[in-house]
Amino acid sequence: MQVRTAITAVLGSSISFSAAAPHPRANIPSELNITGLAASTESGKPAAHFAFAVSIPGGGDAIKCSFYGRAAAGGLLPDVAWRPCDDPTVQWQFRHEPSRPGTSGPYLLVVTYRVDAQTGQRVGGFKEWQASLFPAEESPDGITQSYKGESNFVVANLSEGYELARGGMEAR
Per-residue pLDDT of 63-79, as tens digits, reads 999 999 999 988 899 99
In the structure, what pLDDT confidence band is assigned to residue 171 with cuts at 50, 70 and 90?
very low
**What integer best gives the mean pLDDT of the chain?**
81
> Which distant-in-sequence residues (6+ apart) come within 8 Å of 102 by Cβ?
none
Expressed in angstroms, the distance from the first to the final Cα of the chain is: 22
Quick one: pLDDT at residue 161? 62
Residues in a beta bridge with 136: 145
In the structure, what pLDDT confidence band is assigned to residue 116 with cuts at 50, 70 and 90?
confident
When comparing pLDDT for 31 and 10, which is higher?
A: 31
Rg (CA), the chain: 17
Structural domain span for residue 166: 2-171
Nearest to 95 by CA among 122, 53, 134: 134
Quote the pTM value: 0.78
Q: How many domains does the chain have?
A: 1
Q: Where are the alpha helices (DSSP H) in 36-105?
A: none
